A and B are shown apart, each in its own frame.
Chain A
Amino acid sequence: MSLMSYVVLAAVLFAVGTTTVLVRRNAIIAFMGIELMLNATNLALVTFARMHGNLSGQVLAFFVMVVAAAEVVVGLAIIVAIFRARRSVSVDDVNLLKDVRDPA
Chain B
Amino acid sequence: MITTLSAVLTGLPAAEAVEPVAAVAATGAASAAWLLILLPLLSAAVLLLAGRRADGWGHLLGVAAPAASFLVGAIIAVQMLTSPVTERVQHLDLGSWITAGTFDLRVGLLADPLSVTFVLLITFVGSLIHVYSVAYMAEDVNRRRFFAYLNLFIAAMLLLVLADSYLLLFFGWEGVGLASYLLIGFWNHEVRQGHKVSGDQALDNSVAAKKAFVANRVGDLGMIVAMGLLFAHLGTVSFAGVNEGVASGALSTGMITAIGLMLLLAAVGKSAQFPLQSWLGDAMAGPTPVSALIHAATMVTAGVYLIVRSQPIFDATGDARLVVAVVGAITLLFGAIVGCAKDDIKKALAASTMSQIGYMMLAAGLGPLGYAIAILHLVGHGFFKAGMFLGAGSVMHAMRDEVDMRKFGALGRKMPLTYYTFMAGWLAIIGMWPFTGFFTKDPIIETAFIAQEGQTWQPWVFGSVALFGAALTAFYMSRLFFMTFEGKRRWEPDVEPHESPRLMTWPMLVLALGSVGFGVAFGWKGRLADWLVPVTGSVEHPAPVLPPALITWSVLILVLIAVGLAWQRYAASATVVPRTAPKASALTEAARDDLYQDKVNNGLLVIPGTYATRALVYADSAVVDGTVRAVARGTVAVGDLARRPQTGFVRQYAAMMAIGLVALVIIVLAVQS
Shortest CB-to-CB span from A101 to chain B, Å, is 9
Interface residues of A in 18-36 (CB under 8 A from B): 18, 21-23, 25, 30
Shortest CB-to-CB span from B598 to chain A, Å, is 57
A94 to B649, CA, bound (A): 7
A94 to B643, CA, bound (A): 18
A23 to B644, CA, bound (A): 22
A25 to B654, CA, bound (A): 12
A91 / chain B contacts, CB cutoff of 8 Å = 649-651
A25 to B649, CA, bound (A): 10
Instruction: From B648, B651, B654, B655, give the contact of A98 (CB < 8 A).
Output: B648
| B521 beta carbon closer than 8 Å to chain A | no
A22 / chain B contacts, CB cutoff of 8 Å = 651, 654-655, 658
A21 / chain B contacts, CB cutoff of 8 Å = 651, 654
Q: Do residues A18 and B658 form an inter-chain contact, with CB atoms below 8 A?
A: yes
| A102 beta carbon closer than 8 Å to chain B | no
Interface residues of A in 51-104 (CB under 8 A from B): 91-92, 94-99
B649 / chain A contacts, CB cutoff of 8 Å = 91-92, 95, 98
Q: Do residues A94 and B650 form an inter-chain contact, with CB atoms below 8 A?
A: yes
A95 to B647, CA, bound (A): 7
**Interface 1/0 per residue, B639-673 and A, CB below 8 Å:** 00001101111110011001000000000000000
Considering residues B647, B648, B655, which has the most beta carbons from chain A within 10 angstroms of its beta carbon? B648
A30 / chain B contacts, CB cutoff of 8 Å = 651
How big is the B interface, by class?
10 to 19
Which residue of B is nearest A34, CB measured? B654
Q: Given A18-B658, A22-B658, is A92 in contact with B646 using a C-beta cutoff of 8 Å?
A: no
Q: Do residues B651 and A92 form an inter-chain contact, with CB atoms below 8 A?
A: yes
B648 / chain A contacts, CB cutoff of 8 Å = 94-99
A23 / chain B contacts, CB cutoff of 8 Å = 651
Q: Do residues A99 and B651 form an inter-chain contact, with CB atoms below 8 A?
A: no
A91 to B654, CA, bound (A): 11
A30 to B646, CA, bound (A): 20
A91 to B648, CA, bound (A): 10
**Interface 1/0 per residue, B223-250 and A, CB below 8 Å:** 0000000000000000000000000000
A25 / chain B contacts, CB cutoff of 8 Å = 651
Q: Do residues B646 and A99 form an inter-chain contact, with CB atoms below 8 A?
A: yes
Which residue of A is nearest B658, CB measured? A18
Interface residues of B in 76-106 (CB under 8 A from A): none
A79 to B649, CA, bound (A): 16
Shortest CB-to-CB span from A5 to chain B, Å, is 21
Q: Do residues B647 and A99 form an inter-chain contact, with CB atoms below 8 A?
A: yes
A92 / chain B contacts, CB cutoff of 8 Å = 649-651
A-B contacts, 19 listed (Cβ < 8 Å): A18-B658, A21-B654, A22-B651, A22-B655, A22-B658, A25-B651, A30-B651, A91-B649, A91-B650, A92-B650, A92-B651, A94-B648, A95-B650, A97-B646, A97-B648, A98-B646, A98-B649, A99-B643, A99-B646
Binding site for A on B (CB under 8 A): 643-644, 646-651, 654-655, 658
Given contacts A22-B658, A91-B650, A94-B648, 20 further A-B contacts (CB under 8 A): A21-B654, A22-B651, A22-B655, A23-B651, A30-B651, A91-B649, A91-B651, A92-B651, A94-B650, A95-B648, A95-B650, A96-B648, A97-B648, A98-B646, A98-B647, A98-B649, A99-B643, A99-B644, A99-B646, A99-B647
